[in-house]
Structure 1
Amino acid sequence: MRATQIDALVAAVVLTGVGVFAASVVLTRPAPPTGVALGGLVVFGVLFLLAECFPIRLFNGRDVGEFCSSPAFAYALLLTLPFPYAIGVIGVGTLLAECRPTVRRPWRKAAFNVGQSVLVFAAGAAVLKAFGIPAAPDGVLADAVVLALLPSGLALYGTNLALLGLAVAVDRGQRVRTVLRGALSGRDLVAQYLLIGLAPVMVLLWRENRLLLPFLLLTVGATIQATGAAIRRRHEAYHDPLTGLANRRLLDERLAALTTRGRRGFAAMLMDLDDFKRVNDELGHHVGDQLLVQAGRRLRRIAGIDTIARAGGDEFAFVLRRSDAVRARRIAGEIVAAVTAPYDIGGGSVRIGASLGIALFPDHGDDASSLMRQADAAMYRAKRLDGTDRPASPRIAFAADEPVAAGGTATP
């Protein structure tokens, strides 16, 4: 059922993109670009393709993020060329980047990305068109471009967010609103504006003094690379290198921030994978590592968790903001169900159990350390709920009303 929905979504996005391009050709009947505009088509089109093919990797490990500078060159095309030519170059460039031999993407994802790229930049171009841009041939910029970039960027960001949110919601079986709430990012919007803000500068340099354009590109490229290196170092300091999840340092800082502000109604949870030592001893540490990586991927797919951290070894910690006991218990059940489902590793099936403890702020602790002590005690109490005869059965417990003294962790 879900595969059918994904196919329908991909078909809708691709057909809409093709329809937008075809309609623009029929309605505008643009003349072929010549002179400066033709040169801009070639130069900015090639730069767009290179930016799509070689995004900058921001994170290491298995939690990889990419920063793509292609919007700057896409907007340079939109400011230089008639709408159909600009959108056509953007669509062809995205298609070539998706089909390059070094990338093995499923055809659905590749097709969706091409349609998405056309629709996203078409939305931004529609706003530019409303401001009369481009208003003259040969890449001449209208003065209104400065005013047009703000609403055009919002249209670009909103369309991209909506399409991504819809795709993720269909793929994961979640509500679109839930996905969008987690995907909203002020930093992404600022980064987008910084990129599209470069487009008028590049077009002006292309018109007035093309020899200066390489120097601008080198400066921007060096700045992006340096920023990426700084982000990578920060990411490595706050994330587990094996799973890509938050590490104990980031967990402690977020808990401390929440408890210091006195924010009510959040939950801290601690989970231990039962029989994980047996997996390491009998099947090898490489199998244990693969199991942890797969567990991390499953946990990321659960909606409603604000922080997922590998607290150490086979322990995972979670923070749920705006959560009462009922919501915490429901999400805890989803967590345990996800990690206790069989793992397909090396052609074999591996099963483990899980024990999870829940502590609520401020009911069970008024600071980060006491809250985690209560969650830890609850986790060990959960281990004793049904003994050890059914290692794959879910075991979940809330913290007791009596506080656990510092250093007084419950024993299994």
Structure 2
Amino acid sequence: MPATTVLRPRSRTLIIAATVPLALAVLLADDVRVRRQLDAARKDPLTGLPGRDALTHRTGRLARTHREQLHVLVADADGLKAVNDSLGHAAGDALIAAIGHRIGAWAAARGGLAARLGGDEFGAALLLPPTATLRETAALREQLEQPVDHNGHILRPAVSIGTARAVDLPDAAGASRLLRGADMAMYRVKTGEQPHGYLATRHDAYTPTVHGRRPGRPGTHLPVG
């Protein structure tokens, strides 16, 4: 007769105990894989940057922990419509991709995060000494405006940048106020109302929105009176 192996109760306990770490390891591996897939899905396919939610989350966290050094920037490409109209949308996409990659690398090199906010608008949150604000934003603008070669056409980006420093705003100003301030500062630079290097004020951060959008955006206006 074939031999029969009988597991004693202690042996069964040892086998079960040995399989638990393996099962947990499989579950953890699956969790990591799913998280990576979700992170990849949230990134903009053209630039590889995350979106507004990631930037808002990072800004809020830094506002609570490193407020004295927190800088939020909004950068907008000028003249994209002219590029699309003259050379096609592929050229416009190449311009957006180049700007996205550059601002992403610039922010990452300084321990910060950049995001694509939509269209040709980008944002970044990072820690800088207040004394370095103008020097660093000028260096970023220089990098973003380097020529882009697209199918033999040399594209020359022009970028408007607005900066909000948490230290310049009330302590209660959170992520949404900092982003609004940087966005308004960018708009004032873009329209020529303020020179490059303009820093957001309390008024910029608390400018009323129209349907959640900055005044001056297409389709918005401030009520009269």
TM-score (norm 1): 0.41
**Which of residues 75, 79, 97 in structure 2 aligns to 1:275?**
79
- Alignment length (residue pairs): 188
Is structure 2 residue 170 aligned with structure 1 residue 368?
Answer: no
Give me the whole-angstrom Cα distance separating, in 1, the residues matched to 2:36 and 2:181.
34
User: Over aligned residue pairs, what C-alpha RMSD do you find?
Assistant: 3.0
Deviation at residue 255 of structure 1 after TM alignment: 1.3
Runs of 4+ in 1 over 6 A off after TM superposition: 221-225
What corresponds to 2:129 in structure 1? 323
Deviation at residue 261 of structure 1 after TM alignment: 4.3
Give me the whole-angstrom Cα distance separating, in 2, the residues matched to 1:305 and 1:317.
14
Q: Which has the higher contact order (CA 8 A, sep 6+)?
A: 2
Residues 320, 328 of structure 1: 8 Å contact kept:
no
1:411–1:305 CA distance, 2 compared to 1 (3 A): farther
**Which of residues 321, 329, 335 in structure 1 aligns to 2:140?**
335
Q: 1:91-135: per-residue Cα shift (whole Å, max 9, x none)?
A: xxxxxxxxxxxxxxxxxxxxxxxxxxxxxxxxxxxxxxxxxxxxx
1:348–1:224 CA distance, 2 compared to 1 (3 A): farther
Give me the whole-angstrom Cα distance separating, in 2, the residues matched to 1:261 and 1:300.
22
| Aligned ranges 1:135-154 → 2 under 5 Å | none
Is structure 2 residue 189 aligned with structure 1 residue 382?
Answer: yes
1:254–1:377 CA distance, 2 compared to 1 (3 A): same
User: Aligned with 1:398: secondary structure?
Assistant: coil
Q: Identify, as 1 or 2, the structure richer in helix.
A: 1
Residues 292, 314 of structure 1: 8 Å contact kept:
yes
Residues 168, 201 of structure 2: 8 Å contact kept:
no
Q: Identify, as 1 or 2, the structure richer in strand.
A: 2
Instruction: Percent identity, please.
Output: 31
What corresponds to 1:310 in structure 2? 116
What corresponds to 2:203 in structure 1? 402
Residues 307, 318 of structure 1: 8 Å contact kept:
yes
| Aligned ranges 1:11-410 → 2 under 5 Å | 226-227=30-31, 229-261=33-65, 263-302=67-106, 303-304=109-110, 306-324=112-130, 326-364=131-169, 366-385=173-192, 395-403=196-204, 404-407=206-209, 409-410=214-215
The higher radius of gyration belongs to: 1
List alignment gaps of at least 5 residues for structure 1. Answer: 1-218, 388-393
Deviation at residue 299 of structure 1 after TM alignment: 2.6
Q: 1:296-325: per-residue Cα shift (whole Å, max 9, x none)?
A: 23234433250111111101101121431x
Give me the whole-angstrom Cα distance separating, in 1, the residues matched to 2:209 and 2:168.
20
What corresponds to 1:84 in structure 2? none
Deviation at residue 222 of structure 1 after TM alignment: 6.9
**Which amino acid letter does the alignment assign opposite residue 39 of structure 2?**
H
Residues 238, 249 of structure 1: 8 Å contact kept:
no
1:285–1:229 CA distance, 2 compared to 1 (3 A): farther
Give me the whole-angstrom Cα distance separating, in 1, the residues matched to 2:111 and 2:95.
21
Give me the whole-angstrom Cα distance separating, in 2, the residues matched to 1:291 and 1:252.
25
